[in-house]
Amino acid sequence: MQDLTLIPAVKADLSALPFQGRHLINGEWRDSADHFERHSPAHGLLVSRHAKAGTAETEAAIQAARTAFDDGRWSRLSGKERAAVLTRVADLVGTRVEEMTLLECLETGKPIAQARGEIAGAADLWRYAAALARTLHGDSHNSLGPDMLAMVLKEPIGVVSIITPWNFPFWILGQKLPFALAAGCTCVVKPSEITPSTTVILGEILVEAGLPPGVVNIVLGHGQPVGSLMASHPEVNMVSFTGSTLVGRSIQAAASATLKKVALELGGKNPQVIFPDADLDQAADAVTFGVYFNAGECCNSGSRIIVHEDIAEAFTAKVTALSRRVAFGDPLDEATQVGAIVSPAHLGRIDGFVKDAVKAGAQIALGGEAISIPGLSGDFYGPTIVTGVTPDMAIAREEVFGPVLSVLTFRTLDEAIALANDGSYGLSAGVWSENVHTCLAFARRVEAGTIWTNTWMDGFPEVTFGGMKQSGLGRENGRYGLEEYLEPKSVVMRIGRSRSNWVR
């Protein structure tokens, strides 16, 4: 195993499993005739069993959200009242962190320490959205003449379908749902069928926090028919989806029949460009983090680096050495940094990209194969670094979504920017240099929604997030994340009796 750092299986009390999940529709918990199960990709054990929605449950959830929006039980509350509920949600999340951490660790295969950080950190998204709920305002136009006054109101867009992925189920829901609620919208939520349990627990928290029935409805199931109906239904005003670009296109197509608004956070093939004057030790550590965080199953994964040819060999050696020290193994161990791959099929897809790159002329500097963890039967892929990559290779252009780093080289700033922009994605990018002019030139010219300079993957609720090109539409987090769920309405008023008659 090429002298890697491996964490063997640990003992843990899992007697409370499996978790049982049901739908939340109009404030009531409902079961279904059909069910589906999720097994741990690291341990093989049964983690959860959930009600499986069909058309009837989905229709009921959408109608509940429609009724709740139209009667104003949430949309007509004051910002202060909505903020109070969102703040209570944040507080209650804090009381159930460990319960949700264990479920997310087991369902996703991610390390338990990372799962804990995701769950606890998501509470801050709810607190920030609560603050935004009290600052909603429109515009006024008082310079239209002595007899005219106009206002632009910002109103909630209506019923929002929220469809979330399996890789960060609780965090990504936190980038959508509290902002939609802060705006006054009502929602139907479908988590991934792979990782639904923490969303169900959030439903319990919403009820306990005093959210009125029907304001948030949760349906558990698959893309067909649940997700498809949520995207196409005429009573839905907006769809917010995070997932692959392929599925994003289908969501947009399904929504087009009713011309509803669509917000999409999709894939990325995110470059980090390293110049010779950078702090190479810091850059190497950040690159290592960027590619192995969440086993590379992350839209923001720093999956390709573009290194100046003068330092490429030495820098790759630094990253390779660090990669050997990254702890791969049992997600239940607090020391584990990289856990299991989400499914055998996905592991095969990752390995296919690596093997195809070798056939195309690339070289393997490290890894390139599945690994075994002592005491576990799950799916693990070792840290992998691929050198000699050219821009035309699939591994340089497509989202591998695994712990695989592609290394390309450049000579000039212009060439680096051209390589960074050479592709269909535009989610994030990074630049490493001690020269501020280099960093600013790169940031202004690179086609990506987020540019990190001398860091990687730092994020805050206040700072908006989203992609360009085929990485998506719209923005999450920050004030822009709230604006996604608002519809501007102009009100034009004549003051007094100054209007002259049109008919003479």
- Residues known to be catalytic: 265, 299
Nearest by Cα to 185 from 154, 229, 223 = 154
> Burial level of 76, CB count in 10 A (0-12/13-18/19+)?
exposed
Peptide bond into 225 cis (omega under 30): yes
CB atoms within 10 A of CB 205: 19
**Cβ atoms of 379 and 328 closer than 8 Å:** no
Peptide bond into 344 cis (omega under 30): no
CB atoms within 10 A of CB 161: 31
Q: What are phi and psi of 358, to 5 degrees?
A: -65, -40
Residue type, 365: A
Cα–Cα dist 298/303, whole Å: 10
Tokens coding 188? 């139907």
Tokens coding 24? 């939340």
* Phi-psi domain of 396 (left: phi exceeds 0; alpha: psi -120 through 50; beta: other): alpha
**Cβ atoms of 403 and 383 closer than 8 Å:** yes
**Cβ atoms of 189 and 226 closer than 8 Å:** no
